[in-house]
Chain A
Amino acid sequence: MKLTTLAKTVAAAAIAMPLMTAAASAYELVIPTLDYRTGAYAPNGIPFANGFTDYLTLLNNRDGGINGVMIKHVACETAYNTKQGVECYENTKNTEPSGALVYQPLSTGITYQLIPKSAVDKIPVFSMGYGRTSAANGTVFPWIFNFPATYWDQATVFVQYIGDKEGGMDKLKGKKIALVYHNSAYGKEPIRTLQKMSAKYGFSLLLLPVDHPGQEQKATWLQIRRERPDWTLMWGWGVMNQVAIKEAASIRYPMDHFIGVWWSGSENDVEPAGMAANGYLSGAFHAPGDKFPLHDEIKKYVYDKNQGTGERERIGEVLYNRGLVAAVWTVEAIRKAMEIHGTKEVRGEQVRDGFEALDVSEARLKELGLPGFTYAVKITCANHQGPGKVALQQWNAKAKQWKIVTKFYEPLSDITGPLIAEDSAQYAKENGITPRSCN
C-alpha cells in the first residue's frame, strides 16, 4: 500500500469514527417479546410471534422505525411457562438504551405475575384480550391494558349470539350451556360472568374443566353426550382445542352450536379434525386472511428481503393477524407517547401515557393498511379494556378458511361492569392500592 493511500485510509477512518460511534449510540426503542416457539403450545405461539415481529421489521425496513427511531426487538423464549416468562421479563426490562417500553406476555399466567412488577418498574403490560379481566379498570391497574375486549365481554357476546339464534334472550330460560375450559387461571376467567348471566337469563350452566395439556378428554365429552347441552362454549388452548373439536365431532355434537374463545379459533385448532370441524364457531376481534394492504407491505419489505420470521404462505392466518394487530396497537401507543411528551426518546412510563390516550380510528386503520380489519379503539385513563366488541367467525373446512359471520356485538356492560368494579376493588383492598382519580 502506498503511503498516500495509507494516509487517506487513516484520515477517512478518523473522520468516520465519531460518526460510527454516534450511529452506534443512537436511541432505539426497545420492544421485548415473550414468545413461545417451543413446547406444547408452540403451534399457537409461533404465528402470533411471527405477526408481531414481522410488523416491527417492516417499520424498521420501510420507515426507519417509529417516527424515524429504530426499533430494537428483543425476543425471549418462555415456552408458555410462567416462571420462564418472569425470568424473561427480569432479563430484558433494563435493555439499553430505552429500557423495555411495553410487554405483551401472551399468557394469562405470566400476566398475573407481571401485574405487581409492572407498577414498580413503570413498564406497561399490554395483555391484549387475555390476562386479568378486571385490569380493565384503569384506576386500580394503571399499568395494565387488556383492550380491545375482555373474556367477560366475550362471554356476554356469546350468550347474546345464542339468544339471537334461539329467538331472543327470553328464550334462554331452560336452555343448557356447557363450558369446557382449560383448568387454569385463563380457562376459569369467564365462569363468574356466565354464572351471573345464567342467574339472570335462566339457563343452566355445566362446567367441565380439562387439565393441561388436554390430550385425553373422553370423560368430558361423555358428560356432554349425556347432558346434551344446547350450546357448548370452550375456553381452550393448544392441543386441548384440537382434541375437543374432534371429540365433539365424534359424539355428533352440532358444530354450529360449539363456540370457542378467540384463542380456540385458529387454523391449527380445526385442521386436524378435517371436514368434521366444518361449521365450528369462535370469537374474533379482527379479520382473518391476508387481503389487506399491510400484508402486501410485509411481503414486499420483509419477505422479499428474506427477513420474514415465518413462512410466506402462512401470512394472514388467524394467530398471525392477532400478533400483527397487537404490534400495530403497541406501535400506535408509542407514537402517541412521542406526540404527548414531545420527544422521540420515550421510556416505558411515557408509553403508558400513550396507551391511555390511544385513539386508533377506522380512518387511521385505513392509513395503516388495515381498512375494516378491526374496529376503532379508544382508551382512557379509567377504561383500559376498549370497546369490548366481539364478532363470531366460522370455519369452512372445504375452503379451509375462517370467515366472520356476524356483526360485532357490543358487550353487556351491565353484567361485566359491576363484576369488574367488584373484582378490581377486591384487588385494590388486598394489595393496599388507593384507586387513582381519572377526572
Chain B
Amino acid sequence: MSPDFLFFLEIIVSGLMAGVMYSLVALGFVLIFKASGIFNFAQGVLCLFAALALYDFIAPGGWVDRWFGFTLPVWLGIIMTAGVMVIVAWLIERLVLRYLVNQAPIILFMATIGLAYVLEGMGDILFGSDVKPLDIGLPQGASDYMLDTFGLYVEKLEIVAAFVAAALVAVLAVFFQKTRIGRALRAVADDHQAALSVGISLRTIWVIVWSVAGIVAMVAGIMWGSKSGVQFSLSLIALKALPVLILGGFTSVPGAIIGGLIIGVGEKLAEIYVGPLFGGAIENWFAYMLALAFLLVRPQGLFGEKIIERV
C-alpha cells in the first residue's frame, strides 16, 4: 500500500471515529427534539455535568472519597450518575418546562440557554473547575496491533466509542419501537394534543425523555472526559454536534450517526487537503459550511421528517 493511500485511509478512519464521538453528543439533542420539539442548548452542559458527577463518585479526592473515605466501583458510579441525571431531568421538568407548556419553540430554546448557564454554574460550585483525569478503565492511545501490522493509526478509545454508539442506537431503537413508553414518546412527538387526549401525561414523558437524554449525555461525557479529562470546555462539544444535527436531521437517531460520520470525515479531509490553502484550522467552520450546503438542498436534513406546512 502506498504511503499516500495509507495516509488517506488513516484520515478516513480517524474522521469516522471522530464522527462517532460527535454523534454521541448529537444523539441527546435528537431525543429531546424528537419528543418535545425543543432544541436543547444545554445538552453539552449535561455531558459535562454527568462526567463531573461520575468523577466525584469514583475518583480519589472526589466527593464520596472526601466524605466517606472510599470510592465507588466504576459500575456503581455509573449507576449513581445515571440516577443524578434522572434527578436533574425531574428538576428541569418541575422547575422549568412545566411552566412553558404550549409556549413557542423559541421560548423553550431560550429557557435551555438559561438552563445551560445554571447547570454550568452549579457544576462549578459543586465540583470545582479543575481538570479531572477520568479513568474508568477504557483503553487509551493508539491500537498497537493496527499500528504495527498495518501502519494504521487508530485510537483504542474511539474504537470503544464506536461500539458504544452502535449499542446505544440499538437500545434506543428497541426503546422507541418496542416499549410502551417508547410508543408514547413517539405519540407525543407526532402530536401533543392528540397524545394528551388519549391520556398520555406530557409531564411524565418529558421527565423520561430528559432522563434518557441525560443518560446519553453521560455516555458522551464519559467518552470525551476519558479523552481530554473532565473540564468545563466539555460543554463546548455541543458546537461540534450542531452541524451533525443539521446534516442528519433533528429527529432521526440514525441521522445523528450518519451525520456524525459525514461531518467527521468531511472536516478531516478538508483540514488536511484544503486547509493549507486557507492557513489551516478550517475544520470547525468547514463542518458548518457542509451543513449549510445540506440545508439549501434538504432543509430537514438527510433523515429528518419532511416539513409540510398546511396553509
Contact = CB atoms under 8 A, between A and B. Distances in A.
Interface of A: 37-43, 46, 183, 207-211, 213, 215-216, 218-220, 222-223, 225-226, 238-239, 242-243, 246, 249-252, 268, 271-272, 274, 276
Most buried by A among B10, B135, B233, B275: B233
A271 B131 contact: yes
A215 B131 contact: no
Interface string B101-144: 00000000000000000001100100001110101000011100
B179 interface: no
A71 B117 CA distance: 33
B271 A219 contact: yes
B283 A242 contact: no
Contact of A209 (B229, B232, B236, B281): B281
Given A183-B281, A216-B18, A272-B131, A223 B272 contact: yes
Contacts of A215: 224, 227-228, 233-234, 236-237, 240
Interface residues of B, number: 45
Contacts of B120: 38
B34 interface: no
Given A250-B142, A251-B153, A271-B133, A219 B283 contact: yes
B201 interface: no
Contact of B140 (A210, A211, A252, A276): A276
Contacts of B18: 216, 218
A219 B268 contact: yes
A226 B6 CA distance: 10
A103 B18 CA distance: 41
B228 A43 contact: no
A219 B228 contact: no
Nearest to B144: A252
Contacts of A250: 140-142, 153, 155
Nearest to B120: A38
A219 B8 CA distance: 11
Contacts, number: 114
Interface string B231-272: 111111100100000000000000000000000000110011
Contact of A207 (B130, B133, B280, B283): B280
B13 to A, nearest CB: 10
A210 B227 contact: no
B231 A239 contact: yes
Contact of A219 (B21, B130, B232, B275): B275
B141 A249 contact: yes
A267 to B, nearest CB: 9
Contacts of B177: none
Nearest to A276: B141
Contacts of B145: none
Given A43-B131, A219-B268, A251-B142, 19 more contacts: A38-B124, A38-B232, A40-B232, A40-B236, A42-B232, A43-B130, A43-B231, A215-B234, A218-B268, A219-B267, A222-B14, A222-B272, A223-B272, A225-B153, A243-B228, A250-B155, A252-B147, A271-B133, A272-B131
A213 B233 contact: yes
Given A40-B236, A272-B229, A46 B129 contact: yes
A242 B134 CA distance: 13
Contacts of A239: 131, 228-229, 231, 233
Which label, helix, strand, loop or mixed, suits the secondary structure of the B interface? Answer: helix
A251 B141 CA distance: 8
B273 to A, nearest CB: 10
A65 B121 CA distance: 33
Contacts of A43: 129-131, 231-232
A78 to B, nearest CB: 14
Interface string B280-291: 110110000000
Nearest to B268: A219
A41 B237 CA distance: 15
A428 B233 CA distance: 38
B279 interface: yes
A187 to B, nearest CB: 10
6 contacts: A215-B228, A215-B234, A216-B283, A249-B141, A250-B153, A251-B153
A274 B227 CA distance: 12
Nearest to B15: A218
B11 interface: yes
A183 B130 CA distance: 23
Nearest to A40: B233
Contacts of A219: 11, 14, 267-268, 271-272, 275, 283
Contacts of A39: 232
B175 interface: no
Contacts of A183: 280-281
A397 to B, nearest CB: 12
Contact of A211 (B135, B229, B272, B281): B281
B163 interface: no
Contacts of B281: 183, 209-211
